[in-house]
Structure 1
């Protein structure tokens, strides 16, 4: 751990596997110190070890985005170790139970909706607000929220999912509100869509690799100081809301 004037640090939530791990690795390869945020101690330690084996400066922090206590404790741990946070990637997310009509609008299981929102939306707000004071010390910092084209009201892509899709729509809207509030600051915040990626999330039945899915987030995490704010991108360019 540690921090110098020239060293940049990025925290990625849900970074123990899949797209989150690929984002952490990609930023690490660019010279960032990477903080792996994950709730499972064993998986987090394993991910940190894999990154370190590749020569990346990495360490981990216990972080359950659904727990106010965990997020507060994680923020305190990070602040004790570094004097600023240059990049925060809110990657942790869940699809929620998809079978049994639980995400069909006409048979919607509201408990599924609440569970998905708690991670995909409320979790992002918890982590962002807890770390915002530390992020504001960077010059300038980058926030990246991981969303999905399934949240685009224009594209309407993917299967019908009345919990997951709307959670990403709300995350997109929440990001815009942050961008509006932070418009007169040096904070740059955007939304990334990784595409349909082969991970545990998709049962590894998808055409894109985690490394491909990480590209949009890595680009947004390393935008120039005059980069866009409050916008929605995938690897190929800007997406409609």
Structure 2
């Protein structure tokens, strides 16, 4: 089968990622970008869980009733592909497979994969930044050349990455950052301050996840700026899905996963008036 559109969702075997895949299939028929069949790659680290998630979606009552999937005469098809964003060879395998299968490119990537660990110490910070910041950016750079000129990249960040938790100096460094290196230097300073047990004196919160997501928002802005300066037209945005009831929030969230999926899905397949390098929440532009 040939597809008019191809999208990739990372970390999609459960929670917000799984809901994003479901909502893409449900909303695509009414999307202004609908120009024929859509293939969505549901990616996850664990093959068994990823394939089980695809099977669950194929039996999903909402999708069946909406006749959203190809099996019911709908526009969308969902396929599993393994991806561990913390493993460079895993990223390369997916990129190579996408290149081979879709020579004319991919339409959107939603980078949802991430971790939230309990506790706070130098090791937790290193692991959290490693996945949520460094590995996500590695994936962004690997995916970007695959995206069509009309493509979209959406990085799922968090309101915990807002800048009201930092000293004026650190906040101003974030806001003044123009390149990924600028943002990475802030991440390095945070990790060093934690190692020394002095992150608060250095102007940071004692929160690995929050700082990793602030970094992701800043780096997404920088990536979008570079894309524009180089003449590219891919729209690159970050967003907060809200406080969602998932394993990551220990099921304390107030939004359902489907509600949390709305903003990432909007940024991937709705008309966003060419906005790029922005931070979004509740389907609106939000001040970082």
Judge which range, 12-21 or 226-235, deviates more.
226-235
Q: Quote the Cα distance in structure 2 between the aligned partners of 1:3 and 1:231.
A: 33
**Cα shift readout 1:206-237 (whole Å, capped 9, x = no counterpart):** 21100000001011112437421100011152
1:140 alignment partner, SS class = strand
CA RMSD of aligned residues (A): 1.7
TM-score by length of 2: 0.74
1:19 to 16, 19, 41: 16
The 8 Å contact of residues 89 and 143 in structure 1, kept in 2 or not, is answered as yes
2:43 alignment partner, SS class = strand
Residue of structure 1 in register with 2:58 after alignment:
52
1:205 alignment partner, SS class = coil
Q: Quote the Cα distance in structure 2 between the aligned partners of 1:59 and 1:78.
A: 12
Q: Quote the Cα distance in structure 1 between the aligned partners of 2:55 and 2:234.
A: 31
Report deviation, 1:82. 1.8
1:164 to 209, 220, 243: 209
Q: Quote the Cα distance in structure 2 between the aligned partners of 1:125 and 1:12.
A: 15
2:150 alignment partner, SS class = coil
Indicate the structure (1 or 2) with the bigger Cα radius of gyration.
2
In the alignment, structure 2 segments of 5+ residues that lack a partner are 30-37, 64-68, 70-75, 167-204
Report deviation, 1:3. 3.7
Residue of structure 2 in register with 1:38 after alignment:
44
Distance 1:25 1:212, change over 3 A: same
The 8 Å contact of residues 11 and 88 in structure 1, kept in 2 or not, is answered as yes
1:148 to 158, 162, 170: 158
Q: Quote the Cα distance in structure 2 between the aligned partners of 1:67 and 1:168.
A: 20
Residue of structure 2 in register with 1:192 after alignment:
239
2:143 alignment partner, SS class = helix
Q: Which has the higher helix share?
A: 2
The 8 Å contact of residues 61 and 77 in structure 1, kept in 2 or not, is answered as no
In the alignment, structure 1 segments of 5+ residues that lack a partner are 103-108
Residue of structure 1 in register with 2:128 after alignment:
116
Q: Quote the Cα distance in structure 2 between the aligned partners of 1:161 and 1:86.
A: 38
Residue of structure 2 in register with 1:174 after alignment:
219
Q: Between Structure 1 and Structure 2, how many residues are aligned?
A: 224
Distance 1:207 1:226, change over 3 A: closer
**Cα shift readout 1:3-30 (whole Å, capped 9, x = no counterpart):** 44xx111100001000001111111221
